[in-house]
Copies of this chain bind each other. A is one copy, B any other.
Amino acid sequence: MRIALDAMGGDHAPGPIVAGAVQAVQAEQELTVVLVGDQAQIEPLLPPLEQRQRLEIFHCTQVITMDEKPVEGLRRKPDNSIKRSWELLASHKVDGLVSAGNTGAMVAGGHFLKRFLPPVLRPGIAAVLPTERGPCVLLDVGANIHAKPEHLYQYGLMGAIYARHILQVEQPRIGLMNVGEEEAKGHDLARDTHQLFDRSGIRDRFIGNVEGRDIHKGTADVVVCDGFVGNVVLKYSEGVFEFLMKIVHNELLAPLSSERDKAEQVWRELALRYDYSTYGGAPLLGIDGACIICHGSSGERAIKNALLVAARYARAHLNDIIVQELTANPPPTVDG
């Protein structure tokens, strides 16, 4: 497995990005990481050449910054690390790519190169959230702001494949994010998507509408929504987690005395377990390759995990399964 890593993308790049790559190749013997970025910055962060195994550098000179407008950045900087990573994928020099850089540029890079899997209408970013009953795949969380019912239908299928083959959920149940349980609830997109699932060949895997409060209950293993709603929820989840963990620390742990150290230790474990870095980034599903988008603030642990997920993704031939299932289950025609 060869995975391209955008060494320049992320709030703290390239330090923790390169460190994550070094850890990943140690953890996974079949993985080679191609570090895409400025050789002069990357080289000193790597082990000496004679000890360096399965770590390559693909030199490029430009970086799209986190705040840059994605499409403009891609056009104005032809030698940027995200574009170069996509080109490595397009020319089959790597099996996947990982970036903690500008998310919009990552998505736009895929659009430019038209690296969609044949039956896929629109790729979607899938985030994995912890629940009372195991992981829940939420998608799309930001690739597709103007989603159509057929897109959400395909997200359901792709999310279920990801849940089954990467997260080991045996029979993933697909839910539709909505504002109430009844079928007729919500806006046109929600109602039309509900109809699509109901009339499709995968209706037995569709459990209907779910509400915001259902996510962490684990009511569904896959929850589909448009990229606006998903992005707001994902970022909200990060914010509320930070907020509550801070309160618990300040108000619940601080007043303890003899047992404070013990509690602090558990608190740190909890914070780590529910941290985004555990799941190692969000896959952009529907791409011909294993494309993992990481949080901008990713540290070495998050990057390492993302590289391992990309390798597992490629090894499981997930995209073959996606093509097969999407072709076998096209969205049904719904009268308007």
Contact = CB atoms under 8 A, between A and B. Distances in A.
Contact of A131 (B132, B231, B243): B243
A259 interface: yes
Nearest to A184: B69
Number of copies: 2
A256 interface: yes
Interface in A268-303: 270, 274
A75 interface: no
A211 interface: yes
B255 A257 contact: no
A227 B214 CA distance: 18
Contacts of A267: 252
B186 A215 contact: no
Given A212-B238, A236-B236, A179 B244 contact: no
Contacts of A236: 212-213, 215, 233, 236-237
A170 interface: no
A295 B267 CA distance: 31
A186 B145 contact: yes
Given A229-B228, A257-B259, A244 B247 contact: no
A142 interface: yes
A285 to B, nearest CB: 18
A213 B229 contact: no
A266 interface: yes
A147 to B, nearest CB: 10
Contacts of A146: 187
A252 B266 contact: yes
9 cross-chain pairs, A with B, having the tightest CB-CB distances, nearest first: A212-B235, A212-B236, A213-B239, A216-B243, A179-B231, A213-B235, A212-B232, A259-B259, A211-B235
Interface of A: 67, 69, 104, 131-132, 142, 145-146, 177, 179-182, 184, 186-187, 190, 211-217, 225, 227-229, 231-248, 251-252, 255-259, 262-263, 266-267, 270, 274
